[in-house]
Structure formats: structure tokens, C-alpha cells
């Protein structure tokens, strides 16, 4: 299935990103995140994976690399909504799980196997941006911060122990600006 395409500015949508807190600041006219790394993960149609057999090939990003590998299928194991190809990640293959109408890559902790798409040089924050930050505690409600200045301050806090990475951070882009940031708790 089609993945994320890097454009400048990013097209409307939601993206997994990572960045360092010292890359968040005040730009010429708006608050910004500089040099955010954009990630994606492989997705496949359910029909393609359910028809996959030995001898077929599957295009994948092995080990989080940006290059696509044509992996020849030597074995396929299916159990419930999970598929293990060529012994899974531990054996140099891939693991997949079904989500809605498609399959996606899977790591040991049930998160997608992310790969780097590229670097967005400058992500601009909308004036009414909202941050939902649930990184501190799985059981607690996320902290909500609103407005570009307050969000900029929260994201540039160098004492933040949780970091901003592809596994816990997504941004929503609308009309070339970040309108929402969501950071979740990750074990």
C-alpha cells in the first residue's frame, strides 16, 4: 500500500516524527520544529497477505532502513490475525498483524517497524496548535497544552525525560502547519 511521501511542506495528514527538544523554537514568523525526522511503516492489503505463499516476494523495509528489499517468501505461518514470514524479525524475516482491512509490520512490543522517510527541514506550528502529552504515565489522562507559545515551551523543555520519537510522537498537518501533536506513553 502507498506509504508516506516526503514533501516540503508536508501534505495534510498525520505523521510519525522524531526530533530533539533543542530543535523547537521561535522562527521568523511562527514557532517551528527544525529537522524533524519523518517515519512510516509498511502496510499491505489483506487480500495480498492472505494470498501470500512460498516462492512469492514481498517488498519491505528490513531493519528500519529506507531502502526497499524484495524478500522471497520461504515460509509463512498464520495464527489468528498474525503472520510470520521467514521466521519473523528474529530470523531476518518480517512479522505482520492485521489492523482493520490491512496488515502492518510488527515489532516485539507490538508497535510498527518504522523506517525513516526523510527529514522535514521546518515544521511550522499553527497559532491554535494543541499538544496532547500522555508520555508520563500510561494510566493518567494526557496533559493538554494549547497555543503555539505554550506548545513550543512544552516541546523545547530540555529536562523532558521521555523524548520525542517515532514510537510516541505524531503530528497532524493541515494547510502546511502542525495543528495537533500527540505523544503517548511507551513502555
pLDDT (tens digit per residue) in 87-138? 998 899 999 999 999 999 998 778 899 999 989 999 999 999 999 999 988 8
Q: How far apart are CA 102 and CA 129, in angstroms?
A: 31
Mean pLDDT estimate for the chain: 91
Q: What is the rounded end-to-end Cα distance, in angstroms, of the chain? A: 29
The phi and psi torsions of 62 (rounded to 5 degrees) equal: -70, 140
Entry pTM: 0.89
E-strand ranges in the chain read 13-18, 24-26, 31-41, 43-45, 57-60, 69-72, 76-79, 82-85, 94-99, 102-105, 114-133, 143-146, 169-174, 177-183
3-state secondary structure of 135: coil
What was the pLDDT predicted at 157?
Answer: 86
DSSP symbol at 142: P
Q: How many CA within 13 A on the CB side of residue 163? A: 10
Nearest to 74 by CA among 90, 97, 60, 94: 94
The torsion region of residue 154 among left (phi > 0), alpha (psi -120 to 50) and beta comes to alpha
Of the chain, the percentage scoring pLDDT greater than 90 comes to 76
Contact of 75 with 92, CB cutoff 8 Å: no
- The answer to whether the beta carbons of residues 81 and 104 sit under 8 Å apart is no
What is the H or E stretch that residue 150 is in?
Answer: helix 148-155
Instruction: Give CA separation, 158 vs 36, 66, 138, in Å.
Output: 16, 29, 22
When pLDDT is cut at 50, 70 and 90, the band that residue 9 belongs to is: confident
**Mean pLDDT along residues 136-163:** 90
If one compares 9 and 19, the residue with the highest pLDDT of the two is 19
pLDDT in tens, 52-86: 999 999 999 987 778 899 999 999 999 999 999 99
pLDDT at 172 over 80: yes
Amino acid at each position: 500500500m502507498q506509504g508516506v511521501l516526503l514533501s516540503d511542506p508536508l501534505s495534510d495528514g498525520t505523521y510519525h516524527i522524531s526530533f530533539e527538544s533543542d530543535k523547537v523554537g521561535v522562527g521568523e514568523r511562527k514557532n517551528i520544529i527544525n529537522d524533524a525526522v519523518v517515519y512510516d511503516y509498511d502496510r499491505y492489503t489483506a487480500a495480498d497477505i492472505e494470498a501470500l505463499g512460498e516462492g512469492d516476494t514481498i517488498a519491505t523495509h528490513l531493519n528500519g532502513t529506507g531502502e526497499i528489499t524484495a524478500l522471497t517468501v520461504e515460509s509463512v505461518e498464520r495464527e489468528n490475525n498474525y503472520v510470520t514470514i521467514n521466521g519473523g524479525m528474529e530470523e531476518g524475516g518480517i512479522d505482520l498483524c492485521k489492523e482493520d482491512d490491512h496488515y502492518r509490520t510488527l515489532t516485539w512490543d507490538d508497535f510498527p517497524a518504522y523506517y525513516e522517510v526523510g527529514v522535514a527541514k521546518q515544521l511550522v506550528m499553527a497559532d491554535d496548535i494543541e499538544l496532547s502529552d500522555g508520555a508520563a504515565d500510561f494510566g493518567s489522562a494526557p496533559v493538554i497544552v494549547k497555543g503555539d507559545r505554550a506548545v513550543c515551551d512544552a516541546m523545547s523543555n530540555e529536562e523532558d525525560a521521555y523524548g520525542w520519537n517515532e514510537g510516541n510522537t505524531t503530528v497532524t498537518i493541515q494547510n502546511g502547519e502542525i495543528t495537533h501533536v500527540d505523544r503517548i506513553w511507551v513502555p
